[in-house]
């Protein structure tokens, strides 16, 4: 339903640490009409130009706190509210090269009244200067 709003293309940027580019990040929204506790976010998958980033290289920052995807499983207090922009970081040495890339995001959510996972997907062509 809200899939087309998941990726915030204007927020994509490379991330440096100590003068070295350690990855890239972008803003992301839930594809669901309500907020969810982080333990209900089962997976966040990032693919760039057809290459999927390994799950252990993804971080999610919600309300100023950063989590690995495994840490989300037992986070029962924090909530990702509908419309809030979280930050998805992919730890990829060198980040994204300058130019256009196809960025894909898939979020697998566990919604209490659905007997199957809710999966939202978005893809955008983004540009790195």
CATH number at residue 98: 2.60.40
Mark 72-107 as b/e (b = at least 16 C-beta within 10 Å): beebeeebbeeeebbbbbbbbeebbeeeebebbbbb
Consecutive 10-residue averages of pLDDT for the chain (129 residues): 90 96 97 91 97 98 97 95 96 97 96 83 96
Q: What's residue 111's pLDDT?
A: 87
Report the number of distinct structural domains present in the chain: 1
pLDDT tens column, 88-109:
999 999 999 999 999 999 999 9
Domain that holds residue 32: 3-128
């Amino acid at each position: 339903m809200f899939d087309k709003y998941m990726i915030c293309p204007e927020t994509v940027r490379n991330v440096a640490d100590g003068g070295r580019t350690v990855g890239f990040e972008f803003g992301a929204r839930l594809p669901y009409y309500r907020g969810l506790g982080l333990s209900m976010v089962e997976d966040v998958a990032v693919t760039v130009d057809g290459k999927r980033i390994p799950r252990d290289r993804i971080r999610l920052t919600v309300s100023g706190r950063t989590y690995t995807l495994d840490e989300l499983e037992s986070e029962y207090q924090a909530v990702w509210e509908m419309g809030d922009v979280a930050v998805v970081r992919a730890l990829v040495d060198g980040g994204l090269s300058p130019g256009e890339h196809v960025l894909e995001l898939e979020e697998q959510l566990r919604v209490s009244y659905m007997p199957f996972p809710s999966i939202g997907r978005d893809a955008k062509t983004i540009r790195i200067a």
